[in-house]
Amino acid sequence: MIEAMELLSLQELIALPADSPIAAEIHVQLTQCLKKTTRNNKPYLDVTLADGEQSLTLKVWEDKPWFTDFIQSQPKSFLSIKGIWNKNSYGHEGNDLQIRPLSPEETDMLFLGSPELKNKQDRDWESIVELIGSMSDPRLHALCTLFCTKFRDRLKRTAAARNYHHARRGGIIEHIGGMMCCAHAVCSVYPDLNRDLVLAGCLFHDCGKLWENCYPEGDFSMPYTEVGELLGHIPFGIELVNKLWAEIMDSPESSGWLALDPPSALVRLHLLHMIASHHGELAFGSPVPPKTPEAAVLHYIDNLDAKVEMFRSAYTTSEQLSPHVFQRKAPLAGNEVLPLPAYTELPPAPAYTEPEEEPNGETLF
């Protein structure tokens, strides 16, 4: 019987060094359990486990006692799994596994996520709200406020991508928050940019993903949807913004916007162009390339925030090839190398002082 042991998240488990077995407990959802056979007709299970940050796939062979435990577990069930965990050239493996259902209280804690991730997403949400509050254009301010008010719960369940970057529950909040903070800084360097438009573009560029990459309530497995497959997030995002725009234009406050410059129709058109062009090229899914400075800036900020997150993820999940080099993680171009630490100034050397003298006039040494 395995005694009480450290509770690890999947992120922590995946980050453990290779060939270093550890006894640990994980709390996860069983998102997939497929019965398969090898070429030699040996049965095994292809098991996928997930929490709020990561997923992990295990092969479970038929001769293991816990093979039956997984078979008998309900699909989408929440489990505590204790065992000896290791990572080798074939991936992760678990041995001496003990499996039980999570209690309702443990399941609730699992959906809260790690304190670090929750704090980060809370800070990013506060940044989003603060930057929306700083907008001068009343139309874009009203549009952004309506979006965040209507869809806050869905935003907290949506990933920024299915793979590659911020691919976790609430990841889109981290992505948007990072982009809007970056846009705020870029616009301070290039004051000719329409700051309100760039900020709104950051908020809305992936808004269609709220239906393409949204996790259901009470589930860590992202479904495939007809909206995502038949339209994709760019066309659906354009449709969503048009509907929200019509809603704010029907509000009482819009009566004072008729004389605003630039005209409201032009503001909407430029925002829609930014959503349409944010992938940068037709080959990458945008129906039109960026044709305004704001659209180009949005494209590069989107790419920058995604790439920085890809590096961060690679350092915690990829195989370490040497003390500073990690196995390439797609879609990055090559093996990832640890960044150079920031320069830290050394404390100044102590000033020279004359040696102290004994009362009789002799030095101490």
CA 83 to each of CA 13, 24, 158, 293, 294: distance values in angstroms, whole numbers, following the listed order: 12, 6, 31, 55, 52
Taking 3-state DSSP, the helix, strand and coil percentages for the chain, each rounded to the nearest 5, stand at 45, 20, 40
* Res 91: pLDDT: 82
Contacts of 36 (CB under 8 A, 6+ apart): 43, 44, 45, 46
Query: How many C-alpha atoms does 60 have within 13 Å on its Cβ side?
Result: 25
User: CA angle, corner 36, sides to 33 and 40, nearest 5?
Assistant: 155
Residues of the chain with pLDDT under 70: 1-4, 353-365
Task: Determine phi and psi for 337, rounding to 5 degrees.
Answer: -115, 140
Query: Given the DSSP bridges, would you call strands 78-88 and 22-37 parallel, antiparallel or unpaired?
Result: antiparallel
Distance, in Å, from the CA atom of 110 to the CA atom of 104, rounded to the nearest integer, reads: 10
Express each pLDDT in 214-226 by its tens digit: 999 999 999 999 9
Express each pLDDT in 51-76 by its tens digit: 999 999 999 999 999 999 999 999 89
Task: Determine phi and psi for 86, rounding to 5 degrees.
Answer: -150, 155
Q: How many CB atoms lie within 10 A of CB 109?
A: 13
* Res 1: pLDDT: 42
* Res 2: pLDDT: 45
Total residue length of the chain = 365
Contact 173, 246 (CB under 8 A): no
Distance, in Å, from the CA atom of 200 to the CA atom of 180, rounded to the nearest integer, reads: 8
* Res 90: pLDDT: 79
Angle between helices 264-277 and 138-155 (to 10 degrees): 40
Distance, in Å, from the CA atom of 307 to the CA atom of 300, rounded to the nearest integer, reads: 10
Q: Residue type for 1, please?
A: M
Contact 209, 172 (CB under 8 A): yes
Distance, in Å, from the CA atom of 214 to the CA atom of 240, rounded to the nearest integer, reads: 15
